[in-house]
Amino acid sequence: MSNDVVLEVKNLKTHFISSKGIAKAVDGVDFVLRKGETLGIVGESGCGKSMTSLSILRLIPSPPGKIVDGEVLLNGKNLVTMPNAELRKIRGNRISMIFQEPMTSLNPVIPVGEQIAEALRLHQGLSKKAAWAKSVEMIGLVGIPSPEKRAKQEPFQLSGGMRQRVMIAMALACTPEVLIADEPTTALDVTIQAQILEIMKDLQRKIGMGIIFITHDLGVVAEMCDQVAVMYAGQIVEHQNTAELFKNPLHPYTQGLIGSLPKLYEDQDELQIIEGTVPSPYDYPEGCRFAERCPFARSICSEKQPDLIQYDEESKVRCWKYTNEWQVSLTKELVTT
């Protein structure tokens, strides 16, 4: 089983240092990604999911951002400490990224075909002609009609959906082992969103890559992901396989997220919302970071931070509720009152 692991992230910490203080955007994230598997990372905006994905390829703006601790292992090799020249051979080649904003993520003055071809020339040593041919082929593969013509066009001549397809073509051109997709469909409308997701799944089957899928949309998670990691305030608070997560969410935050989903076939009086706001990354509380908003919080929750513990063989959760301490503190409270 562990032989299949392509990417392993261990205790990753990315902090932003500015005059306002230190923002702990990513604060000890662990996960593994297996071959051919899709791992969803979900959470509200600002929870650190995008920063986690950017940290993997060391793409966080620096300064002010800095990876202060942890490892990112691609087939056992640590990307965090790797020299830049070596890392560049991995970027766009063995690990690729798709970004949230198709409108601004393509260079506006370079033909899209060239933007794909340059990665092919760089990583696969293809000739100019061969790279262009492959680039056109990729554009066709992601379902853009008349790819020869489109390849020569600049991004402003393409629709948003087409641009995101070009981004996918670009990311997959060198058949990467890992694809990181950071909210790839958020900016698109629903029908195009479905098409793009279909293309991604299809290409995953062909290439067999692992996908890290970052989103705040649980509907998309249900459709795309095998495993889900839920992030809150820079940390993973729950990690389960998708079916289990929806059936039996462990963390109160996950329960809140799923509870806030509108259900099609159920008669709901109102949507549940999670009260309160996310704590500032400059100043996290001492105890559990969700304690302030948590309906189950007890005294222990605001005193000590819980660890991400193994709930069962496949699931992990960061919550006092599932620990022995919880029982202890419960009895303590009963005794004192």
Partner 1 sequence: MIFFILKRLMQIVPVILGVTLVVFLIMQMVPGDSAVILAGEGASKETVEELREDLGLNKPLHEQYFSYIGNIFQGDLGHSLKNNQPVLEEIMIRLPITMELAFFSILITVVLGLIAGIISAVKPYSFSDIGVMLVALLGISLPSFWLGLLLMYIFSIKLQWLPVAGWDSMAHIVLPAITLGAGGAAIVARMTRSSMLEVVGQDYIRTARAKGLKEHVIIYKHALRNALIPVITVVGLQFGGLLGGTVLVESVFAINGLGRMIVDSIRTRDIPMVQGGVLVASLVFVFVNLLVDTLYRVFNKRIDLN
Residues that bind partner 1 (CB under 8 A): 57, 59, 61, 88-93, 96-97, 99, 101, 104-110, 118-119, 122-123, 154, 156, 167, 170
For the CB of residue 109, give the shortest distance to partner 1 in the complex, in Å.
5
For the CB of residue 229, give the shortest distance to partner 1 in the complex, in Å.
21
Q: Which is nearer to partner 1, 122 or 194 (CB)?
A: 122
Instruction: Give the residue from 183, 186, 198, 188 showing the smallest Cα distance to 162.
Output: 188
239 CB-near residues (< 8 Å, 6+ apart): 31, 227, 228, 229, 230, 308, 315, 316, 317
For the CB of residue 105, give the shortest distance to partner 1 in the complex, in Å.
4
| Amino acid code (one letter) for 268 | Q
Which one-letter DSSP state was computed for residue 91? Answer: B
Q: Are 284 and 267 in contact (CB under 8 A)?
A: no
Identify the bridge partners of residue 26 per DSSP, sorted by sequence position.
14
Q: Which is nearer to partner 1, 32 or 171 (CB)?
A: 171
C-alpha 45/C-alpha 4 separation (Å) is 31
For the CB of residue 111, give the shortest distance to partner 1 in the complex, in Å.
12
CB-count exposure of residue 193 (10 Å: 0-12, 13-18, 19+): buried
C-alpha 213/C-alpha 76 separation (Å) is 21
Q: Which is nearer to partner 1, 119 or 291 (CB)?
A: 119
For the CB of residue 119, give the shortest distance to partner 1 in the complex, in Å.
5
Q: Which is nearer to partner 1, 9 or 278 (CB)?
A: 9
C-alpha 43/C-alpha 281 separation (Å) is 15
Q: Which is nearer to partner 1, 77 or 205 (CB)?
A: 77
For the CB of residue 122, give the shortest distance to partner 1 in the complex, in Å.
6
Q: Which is nearer to partner 1, 96 or 215 (CB)?
A: 96
For the CB of residue 92, give the shortest distance to partner 1 in the complex, in Å.
4
For the CB of residue 244, give the shortest distance to partner 1 in the complex, in Å.
32
C-alpha 2/C-alpha 34 separation (Å) is 8
**Which contacts of 73-82 are long-range, i.e. CB under 8 A and separated by 24 or more positions?**
73/7, 73/8, 73/9, 73/10, 74/6, 74/7, 74/177, 74/178, 75/6, 75/177, 80/12
3-state helix, strand, coil in the chain (%, to 5): 40, 25, 40
For the CB of residue 106, give the shortest distance to partner 1 in the complex, in Å.
6
Q: CA 308 → CA 22, 246, 278, distances in Å?
A: 23, 19, 19
Burial 265-297 (b: 16+ CB within 10 A, else e): eeeeeeeeebeeebbebeebbebbbbbbbbeeb
